[in-house]
Amino acid sequence: MNPMTPKLEAMLAAGKDSAMLRLTLGKNYLDDGDAAMAQTHLQHATQLDAAYSVAWKLLGKACLELGDATAARAAWEQGLTAAQAKGDAQVVKEIGVFLRRLDKAAQT
């Protein structure tokens, strides 16, 4: 487990909720292999800030790890829209790759 995760969870428990905090928790859980916890935090991040393209990107990854390609696609499409609106070229590129991989996997 990431050593920062308990500290971040304590911040959340103390009422310091934010999209950035949820994104960081989601990423930590995803990196630790807990896609279900990651999904929970990343969904909250996107609810707190629907324009948070990185949160959508990671939410898609968590959904895919949980075996839900439909939810992954929906998250990535939301993230793509958000990233394009912000001019976040790197996230646009990454999500484009994820969507192409998803399309390729669906064809096999």
- What tens-digit pLDDT sequence spans the chain (108 residues)? 899 999 999 999 999 999 999 999 999 999 999 999 999 999 999 999 999 999 999 999 999 999 999 999 999 999 999 999 999 999 999 999 999 999 999 898
Q: How many residues does the chain have?
A: 108
Neighbouring CB atoms inside 10 A of 29's CB total: 23
Side-chain-side CA neighbours of residue 107 (13 Å):
6
Q: Which pTM was predicted?
A: 0.95
Report the topology of domain 5-107.
1.25.40
Alpha-carbon gap, residue 101 to 97, rounded angstroms: 6
Contact 2, 32 (CB under 8 A): yes
Alpha-carbon gap, residue 50 to 83, rounded angstroms: 11
Contact 24, 42 (CB under 8 A): no
Contact 5, 29 (CB under 8 A): yes
Residue-range domain boundaries for the chain: 5-107
